[in-house]
Amino acid sequence: MIKKYVLIIVVIGIMVSLIIVYHLYFRREEIKCPKCGSMYVWTPLGTRSENFLWRCLECNNTWIKTYSKKSFDEWKDNSVNIVIHMVMKYISKNHEDSRNFISEKIKWRR
């Protein structure tokens, strides 16, 4: 009887361990500023600091972290949207006449 309970506990323990490992390994890691949470971040592409040295375009915070290849590739594919958004934000901030044509809140596209 005790062997049966031990076997059930071992099987449940293995299943829980596998679920935890699966979620930790395959979870989607978002590249965003650890200080303000902004997704508008930048890393120097084509240098030794690529996917290592990061800067937030919103609060100017810098941090050092290497993200997974999958997360970095997704960020790199979206970098065009980041550039477009930041240019529009700069224009609307520094040119008062453009505020009539550019929305203050441009939605982040994924």
To which residue do tokens 């361990």 refer? 17
**pLDDT above 90 for 84:** no
Looking at residues 62-82, what average pLDDT do you find? 86
Instruction: Locate the domains of the chain by residue range.
Output: 30-100
DSSP string, 15-40: HHHHHHHHHHHHPPPP---TTT--S-
Q: Each residue of 2-23: pLDDT tens digit?
A: 888 888 888 898 998 888 777 7
Rounded-to-integer distance, Cα 15 and Cα 48, Å: 41
Q: What is the mean pLDDT of residues 22-36?
A: 80
Both tokens assigned to 5: 């309970």
pTM: 0.57
Burial (CB count within 10 angstroms: exposed 0-12, middle 13-18, buried 19+), residue 41: buried
For 33, half-sphere exposure in the C-beta direction (CA atoms, 13 angstrom radius) is 16
